[in-house]
A = this chain, B = another copy of it.
Amino acid sequence: MAGGEEVSNKQVILKDYVSGFPKETDLELRTETITLKVPQDSNAILVKILYLSCDPYMRLRMHKTEDESSVFTSYTPASVLTGFGVAKVLDSGHPDFAEGDLIWGTTGWEEYSIITTPETLFKIQHTDVPLSYYTGILGMPGMTAYAGFYEACSPKKGEYVFISAASGAVGQLVGQFAKLMGCYVVGSAGSKEKVDLLKNKFGFDEAFNYKEEHDLNAALKRYFPEGIDIYFENVGGKMLDAVLLNMRVRGRISVCGMISQYNLEQPEGVKNLMSIVYKRVHMEGFVVFDYYHLYSKFLDVVLPYIREGKIVYVEDIAEGLESSPSALVGLFSGRNIGKQVVVVARE
């Protein structure tokens, strides 16, 4: 790729900071051109994007964060959106990457990206599984489920585990990890279809549609008459409040995220925190980046599970970069069934 061909490059732009629920119109597509070659004397790499990952944390970057030390730094309005993606290296100025390598990590939401810090990327070594899995079960959400469950929850066989947003990219895995460990596992989700998936595809012991429960406390008491040992928290707000009332002594709450709160002007107040004292609960927030050093150990665990069919993974695939704004926005109304992926190119 000597001179570097100039090609058009479709991109997704965040127009401005978002308040409330994000809308498709908060994003826009534009087309630029790009030379398919890394700048001279740069150790950047140039990649062709194959898959993009729609993840709830992206909403946290769409408003201006006042806290400079936040792990979720704000996007820059009028710039190309970034997120996790799977891509193929077209040109490399970095000794560790060569043309043809497959990678996953943070990329632009566009057809081609120049990545100036390739050290932060993971090289994909195993291609006998779908490449899109590196946006989900084998990527950031997979590591999130693994670290948040095994590391932050200290699970034991026979414990009672509850997972909210349980059919999502992370939840479906946490539930399957917990079942493999011999736990009793219940999940909540937002539709009958998702509840069916939890029970019939992912092997949860029980599942319920939180939208049909006017009393979440009563719902949890129904499924956990003896209480909850482990709560894998993905939603926050009212669900957390109800869970707090149902924790067992020395229960653990692993806080992965709180998607129900991200689009509110003010987060809902959580009232039942004294349960943390009554039940001596450990509540721990975690961020997957802190656990990336475990990635190869994680692959050693999860790849065999996938190959042997002991873990399944459901993806919701949107076709083409044009569909990405709608796919991303759909996360917040729960439109996706399983991990939301955007296919930008298949190779």
Residues on A facing B (Cβ under 8 Å): 67, 69-72, 227, 236, 240, 245, 249, 255-258, 261, 266-287, 290
Contacts and interface: CB of A to CB of B under 8 A. Distances in A.
B267 A274 contact: yes
A236 B244 CA distance: 15
Interface of chain A, main secondary structure = loop
A103 to B, nearest CB: 26
Nearest to A250: B290
A256 B280 CA distance: 10
Contact of A273 (B72, B249, B258, B290): B258
Copies, count: 2
Contacts of A255: 273, 276-277
Report, nearest first, the 10 A-B pairs whose CB atoms are least far apart.
Answer: A269-B269, A276-B285, A277-B285, A283-B283, A267-B271, A270-B270, A255-B276, A282-B284, A280-B285, A269-B271
Contacts of A284: 276, 280-283
A258 B272 CA distance: 11
B273 A281 contact: no
A278 B71 contact: yes
B271 A271 contact: no
6 contacts: A255-B277, A258-B273, A261-B274, A268-B271, A269-B271, A282-B284
Nearest to A227: B69
A288 to B, nearest CB: 11
A227 B67 CA distance: 11
Contacts of A280: 284-287, 290
Contacts of A267: 271-274
Given A280-B290, A281-B285, A283-B284, 20 more contacts: A69-B227, A236-B273, A240-B273, A255-B273, A255-B276, A255-B277, A258-B274, A261-B274, A266-B271, A267-B272, A268-B269, A269-B271, A270-B273, A275-B285, A276-B283, A276-B284, A277-B285, A280-B284, A281-B284, A282-B283
Q: Which of A72, A275, A277 has the most chain B CB atoms closer than 10 A to its own CB?
A: A277
Contacts of A257: 277
Nearest to A252: B284
B240 A278 contact: no
Contacts of A249: 69
Q: Which of A69, A268, A274, A282 has the most chain B CB atoms closer than 10 A to its own CB?
A: A274
Nearest to A271: B267
A279 B272 CA distance: 21
A271 B20 CA distance: 16
A265 to B, nearest CB: 11
A257 to B, nearest CB: 6
Contacts of A278: 67, 70-72, 285, 287
Contacts of A281: 284-285
A344 to B, nearest CB: 29
Given A268-B269, A269-B269, A270-B270, A277 B256 contact: yes
